[in-house]
Amino acid sequence: ESRIAQLSGLPINKVYLILKSLNQRRIVHFIPQRTVPLVTYTRDRELPENVVIPKSVYEDRKELFEWHIKKMLQYAMNNNVCRSRQLLDYFGEEESTDCGKCDVCLARKNELQTEPDAKDARQKIMALLADGEWHNKTELLNVDASKDAVDNAVRQLVSEELICIEHARVRAK
């Protein structure tokens, strides 16, 4: 400890605290000075100029980093899918249900309460799409419900991932 303090120009107690911190983070193995101090590196150390990261590893890490950022932005900006479901999807869970407690679920619940025939519109839309085939979005206009109820129901069904819309077509999942 005193030799490191002498070489670094730091006080011995500061060197001691730094070595303890490095030991706690498992960077070095440090046994405080009693008779003979001992420092053991638990990992190989390389000089920075000897470290080479292959381009493929760099590209893979960059792609993963971009994916993480994209998912974070989607989470922050998506007001249609339950926050809990988004988090579970991020961690690879495919089967999930709405939590009913996040801001998205509470907003959807309020929409359902303000639109009394939204449940009826949902049932009619699901009945229309029950065959699992692609349907033209204009067929939704033929559902026997108000336009607002159909719009709310479609928005909810998409957010709950019960139906999907691609281009001008819609189908049940």
Average pLDDT per block of 10 residues along the chain, 173 residues long = 90 92 90 72 83 89 93 88 89 85 82 66 86 86 82 80 82 79
- 30: Cβ contacts below 8 Å, ≥ 6 apart: 19, 20, 22, 23, 38, 39
> Within its chain, how far is the Cα of 119 from the centroid?
30
Give the residue among 75, 115, 113, 107 at the shortest CA–CA distance from 91.
75
Kindly report the backbone phi and psi dihedral angles of residue 44, in degrees, each rounded to the nearest multiple of 5, phi listed first: -65, 145
Q: What pLDDT is recorded for position 156?
A: 79
pLDDT of residue 21: 93
| Domain residue ranges of the chain, discontinuous segments joined by + | 2-41, 115-172
Residue 37 token pair? 């101090």
Cα–Cα dist 163/124, whole Å: 13
Q: Which of 98, 104, 138, 142 is nearest to 121 (CA)?
A: 142
CATH class name, domain 115-172: mainly alpha
- Looking at residue 34, what is its pLDDT? 67
